[in-house]
Amino acid sequence: MSTDQERHVIITGFGGQGIILAGDILGRAATLYDHKFATMTQSYGPEARGSACSAQVIISKEEILFPYVREPQVLICLSQEGYSKSVGSLHRGGVLIWDSDLVQTKNLDPSLITYNIPATRFAEELGNRMMANIAMLGFLAAVHHIVSAQAMRKAVLSSVPEPTRELNTRAFERGFQYGEAILKSKAKQSKA
């Protein structure tokens, strides 16, 4: 159960997509750069690569007393299996973000705030499919202010090997710019 101060996030996908790294980066952004509290738990199938996995992150301005996410306010899906397993637990009125290249949604609760991003396609355009998780974090930073964009940028750079920092920065910025464009488009639609 979350308090009003806590934000519960589940990032789900399959092994090899950097799901656990994405959760670590989100928690790092919150604690080291936005000076909040955070916990992260993780789960994955018996095979390290290719089986379902998830990172559960709680972020709060106050100390966190229970580290497990039961009803996330934000759900990020990078696989169909992860979406299917987790969408039913999403808090009413929560935020659902999915990789439109890998996930098909159906019968969504109309109370949800929904976004999709072709994160895998963006990563492939950059030459490395493994960057989809970072593009997704950039998108999250643009559309939901769970942590500041600057904190997320710093956390990405401090979490990846030095030779990959430029490519990770490009992936983050591609996702961030896409998220900003989506928000501008939604704002124009609501004014019309």
The candidate with the shortest Cα–Cα distance to 86, out of 96, 58, 135, is 96
- Cα–Cα distances in Å, from 172 out to 19, 20, 45, 82, 104? 15, 16, 27, 22, 23
- Report pLDDT digits (tens) over 6-55: 999 999 999 889 999 999 999 999 999 999 999 999 998 765 566 789 99
Q: Is the pLDDT of residue 1 over 50?
A: no
Phi-psi sector, 109: left (phi>0), alpha (psi -120 to 50), beta: beta
- Domains of the chain, start order: 7-191 (3.40.920.10)
